[in-house]
Structure formats: structure tokens, C-alpha cells
Amino acid sequence: MNKEAKISCKNIWKLYGEAPEKFLKNTNNNPTTEEIKKNNYIPAVRDASIDVNTGEILVIMGLSGSGKSTLLRCMSKLIEPTHGQVFFEGNDLLKASEKELIDIRRHKMGMVFQHFALLPHRTVLQNVAFPLEVQGQEIQKREERAKDVIKLVGLEGREKYYPRELSGGQQQRVGLARSLAVEPDVWFLDEPFSALDPLIRKEMQNEFLRLQSMLKKTIVFITHDFDEAIRLADRIAIMYEGLIVQVGTPEELITKPATDYVAEFTKDIPRSKLLNAESIMNEKDKKPYENKVNYNDKIEKIASKVLKSESIFSVVDDNKEVIGSVSKKELIKALFAEDKNE
């Protein structure tokens, strides 16, 4: 097990159907797609193993029905996996007692939901203070803390509002505040911005990045929106029909897609905004040329000067050492990736 890992999932299976445990056992915990189909099981998650490292933003992405939400719920044991292990800070979550689980959820986990899941009969303040209330914190202390978090998400002055009086974006801010009230180590976000308008979504993504830059939580973020994923993620896990198809940084996914499915997904992403010089350079050519570009420059920044000139550019790292080269050829190859097989 990775020591850095905050959460570590090992061979998680979640099947729906009749007596799925038995079926899994009979197939040595590794049934094929055909076997699953033939026996009328619905596979939500298949053999998923993934580590979530401390302090990173892991985005799980896939289309609806790909099992991403189920996997997230297995991590917090909202759903019991059919088979597999989930380690939370090294402890097996699936073996934890009800009491231990409640304790972990009260102090170490926070979760944000797609449709906000605010309690309609409580004010903003009471909603945010809710996780503290169920811990048994006294009213003054918990409301003080709740007010701080409300301020943090920029909803000052709305403490006494009821959820129905707020816009979608504001409601989700309450959702964020509630999940942060207990100062959790791990922050689960289940398609938190999917139900919002595109403009508000962008605003909330910025808000999220701002909060993360201050709080530095370990984050598992679910989305079906690839743009959102590459904006926010340190690493992305792509799921397809219950399987984790590929895990990697956004650049890796675009430059080295593991399957056609991933390639299809990443096809429409404007590469120029995402890829940097390092990811497209010719690593073998380490000659120092006259023109230089920084390894971390995005393509959109260097494209015009590279394309204008006939010469080759050296790629240098922060210590000015040459680590490769970029020319028209590499640029065109990277930008029009569909043609690379020809």
C-alpha cells in the first residue's frame, strides 16, 4: 500500500442482483463481462483499485452509469461494496464497527451532493451547524464555527435564510460550508456543480479552487464534465462501465490515452491550453539552440513564435538546462492528434 495514500481502494466490486457475493466467489472474484451479463447482474463497479494521496485533488470522471458515484460511496461506506477493501488512513473501513464509522464521518469526512441535500426545515446557519449538532457540540460553539464557515464561502448575512430562499449557487455554497464545518481531512464532492448554470458553475469552480488553496484537503471530486475535470484535477481517473480505464494527470490522458474510449473523450479538448512544452518536446534532441522556451509554457503561449520561425527551439527547465526541443513538427503533431496514426 502506498504510504502517502489517505484512502486506498483494493479490488472493489459492486454488483447488483441476487446474492452477488456468492456469484463473485464462484467466479474467483473475477467474472468476465459475459458471465456478469449472462447471470443478470448489473455491475456498478468492477475491480476498482485506486489510491487517493494526501492533499491531492483526484477527479473521478465518466458518463452517467459508469459507476463513479458508486465508487465514491464505497469509499465513504455509504454503500457496502460486494467485494474488496477500502483503507482509510490505513484502517480497513469495511471492518469498522457502526460506532467507529460514525466517529470517522463526524470528524474526518465531509461530503457535497449534486442536488445540495440541504435540510429544508433548517436555516442556513442550522444547516451548516448540523454536523456539529449531531456530534453534541453546544449551541454557541457550533454556531460560532458555522458562522466562520459561512463567511468562508461568502454567504455572510444569509445565516437566517431558508434553503428555498437561495439560488442554486448559493445553496451549493451552503452545501460546501456544511461539509467543511467539521474540518474534515477528506472532502468528497459528488458532481457538486452539475446542477448549476454554466456561468455559475465556472464561478463555483473558482470558489472551489480558492477554498482548496487555503485548506489543502484531500479531495475526491466526481464529475461527468471533462473540462471541469482538467480545470480542477491533479489526477483524473476515467471510468467506463464500472471499470477504471485510466488514471493519470490531465496531460497524460491527452498525450497517452490508454484506450480508444479515453482518446474519444479527450479528442475535443483544446490541447493548446492544456499541454506544455515538456509534454510535446522531442526528448532525444538535447542540443542547445538559439531560441529557448520554458518547459512549463503552455502551447498556446509558444505556438505563434514557433510556427513563425523555421528554426528549432530548445526546451529548458527552471535551471536553464536543456531537456529537449520543440519545432513546427512537434507542435502540429500535438495539436492535431487525430492524425498521429497516419
Partner 1 sequence: MNKIKTIFRGKFFFIFAPFIFLWLLRYIIPNYTISSKTPHWAYIPPKSCLGGCGSIDGLIPFVDWTNALIQFLRKYEIFGLFTFRDFTRGIANYVDKFLDFTEAVLHKGFPSYDVGPLPWIFILTLTIILGFYLRGWRLALLGGACFSYLILFSKRGIWELSMKSLAAISVSAPLAALIGLCLGILAVKRKRFANFLWPMLNILQSLPHFSYLILVVIFVGIGTKAGVIATVIFAFPPMARLTILGLQNISQEIKEAGVMAGCTKWQMLFKVEIPAARSPIMLGINQVIMQCLAMIVIAAFIGQPGLGHDLLIRLQGLRLGEAFEIGVAVVLIAITLDRYSQALALKEPERREGNFVKRNPYLCATFFAIIICSILVFLFPFFNEYPKELTISASVYLDNAIKSFTRSLFVPLGIFRDWMLIYFLMPLKAVFQSMPWTGVILFVGAIGWKLGKMRLALTVMLFVFFIASSGYWVRAMITVYMVFASLIICALIGIPLGIWASKKESRTKIVLNICDIFQTFPSFIYLLPAIMLFQISDVSAIFAIVIYSSIPMVRYTVFGLRNVPQQIIEASITSGCTDRQLLWKVKMPLAFPEIILGANQTLMFALFMVMIAGFIGTVDLSQEIFRALSFSDGGKGLIIGLCVAFIGLTADRLLVEWSSQMKSKLGFKV
Footprint of partner 1 (CB under 8 A): 73, 76, 78, 102-103, 105-107, 109-111, 113-123, 130-131, 133-135, 160-162, 164-165, 178-179, 188
CA–CA separation, 1 and 16 (whole Å): 28
CB nearer to partner 1: pick between 113 and 289: 113
Least distance (Å) between residue 43 CB and partner 1: 20
CB nearer to partner 1: pick between 106 and 301: 106
If we measure between CA atoms, which residue out of 116, 234, 223 comes closest to residue 166? 116
314 forms bridges with which residues in the sheet? Answer: 292, 325
If we measure between CA atoms, which residue out of 225, 233, 131 comes closest to residue 175? 131
CB nearer to partner 1: pick between 13 and 188: 188
CB nearer to partner 1: pick between 160 and 287: 160
Least distance (Å) between residue 78 CB and partner 1: 5
CA–CA separation, 96 and 90 (whole Å): 12
* Residue 181 CB neighbours (<10 A): 25
Least distance (Å) between residue 104 CB and partner 1: 8
Cell numbers 492524425: residue: 339
Least distance (Å) between residue 198 CB and partner 1: 22
CA–CA separation, 306 and 281 (whole Å): 12
If we measure between CA atoms, which residue out of 278, 297, 68 comes closest to residue 190? 68
If we measure between CA atoms, which residue out of 124, 129, 130 comes closest to residue 144? 129
CB nearer to partner 1: pick between 188 and 240: 188
CB nearer to partner 1: pick between 119 and 215: 119
Least distance (Å) between residue 135 CB and partner 1: 7
Query: Residue 287, class by beta-carbon neighbours within 10 Å (0-12 exposed, 13-18 middle, 19+ buried)?
Result: exposed
Give the Å distances, CA to CA, from 81 to 11, 84, 109, 158, 284: 10, 7, 18, 39, 47
Least distance (Å) between residue 162 CB and partner 1: 6
CB nearer to partner 1: pick between 121 and 340: 121
Least distance (Å) between residue 7 CB and partner 1: 15
CA–CA separation, 175 and 236 (whole Å): 23
